[in-house]
Amino acid sequence: MPENTAPHPALFIVATPIGNLEDITHRAVRVLREVDLIAAEDTRHTQRLLRHYSIGTRVTSYHEHNEMEKTGRLLEELANGRTIALVTDAGTPCISDPGYRLVRAAREAGFAVVPIPGACAALAALSASGLPTDAFSFHGFFPRKRTQAHDLLIRLRDRPETHVFYESPRRAADTIALMGELLPGAEIAVARELTKIHEEFVHGQASALLARLEDFPDRGEYVILLTPAEPETPALSDAELREAVEMVMTESGVSRRDAIRAVAEHFGIPRNTVYAATTGDSSQ
């Protein structure tokens, strides 16, 4: 958005660095300088960034423990014609961080909400993980309760896209062990210290990664990425395939040709395989 067309008042969602202070856009620095107020998850943490870029904008706290109270106050600031920048400790606000309630309330009140894109740990890890990126799901922080974690991983068995989680270093080993137990054969990548001097990625199946994690320091946050193994096609005998075809013909009243097609699609196997099993001829 050109500088002279910025809405006023407006709530700006400003991405900040996840480690390296150089990972902030020129536009983000300009917005942080020009807004009337910065709402920050941790004011002390944000002040270090502001001092680095000589930004003197007024700062107020906005975090998970005061967001209900502060949302109303920030809406009043917007109603009085002021501009606000929302920032989190690191990365893009509202991505597993406080902020979506404020964004929703601002939109419902008719105020402009403007994203200022930039760093995001989940996308940074995904882009450099080497895991498939054509389809992925972000789940935020991995569930702390084992029953919830167990149920989530079971649901992911039939979802072969890449799944992205945030996790603390103290829980990472237990999390990966559970992934290996419930999703054997899954490909896993762990990223730590993203954009920092000791940035590191490790890849492999759970058993191999657990040994590597013993050398990781007990600080910071990890990004864990997981791609479940493709489900194996069930091995069906010729007799079972013949029975399936006959059942489809009887229950649906379709021709043998259509029944063969339906059985092949249902089990994810070549049509010729089903045809050969039911006729003894593989020449179709």
Pair type for strands 112-116 and 10-14? parallel
Residue 201's DSSP bridge partners are 191
pLDDT band at 195; cut points 50, 70, 90? very high
Sheet strands (E) in 125-273: 136-141, 162-167, 187-192, 200-204, 222-227
**Average pLDDT along the chain:** 90
Give residue limits of the domains in the chain.
3-119, 123-227, 238-279
pLDDT per position as a tens digit, 234-252: 677 888 888 989 988 888 8
Q: Of 152-156, 212-216, 219-223, 258-262, which gets the smallest average pLDDT? A: 212-216
What is the average per-residue pLDDT within 142-171? 93
Give the pLDDT confidence score for residue 5 in this predicted structure. 57
Q: What percent of the chain has pLDDT over 70?
A: 94
More confident residue, 47 or 284: 47
On whether the CB atoms of residues 278 and 258 are closer than 8 A, the answer is no
Task: In whole angstroms, give the CA distance from residue 245 to residue 263.
Answer: 6
Give first-to-last CA distance, the chain, whole Å: 60
Q: Per-residue pLDDT for 90 more than 50?
A: yes
User: Does residue 14 register a pLDDT over 90?
Assistant: yes
Question: What is residue 232's predicted lDDT score, i.e. its pLDDT?
Answer: 63
Task: Give the model's pLDDT for residue 231.
Answer: 64
What CATH number should be reported for the domain whose range is 3-119?
Answer: 3.40.1010.10
Task: State the Rg of the chain over Cα.
Answer: 26
The topology (CATH level 3) of 123-227 is 3.30.950
How is residue 44 annotated by DSSP?
H
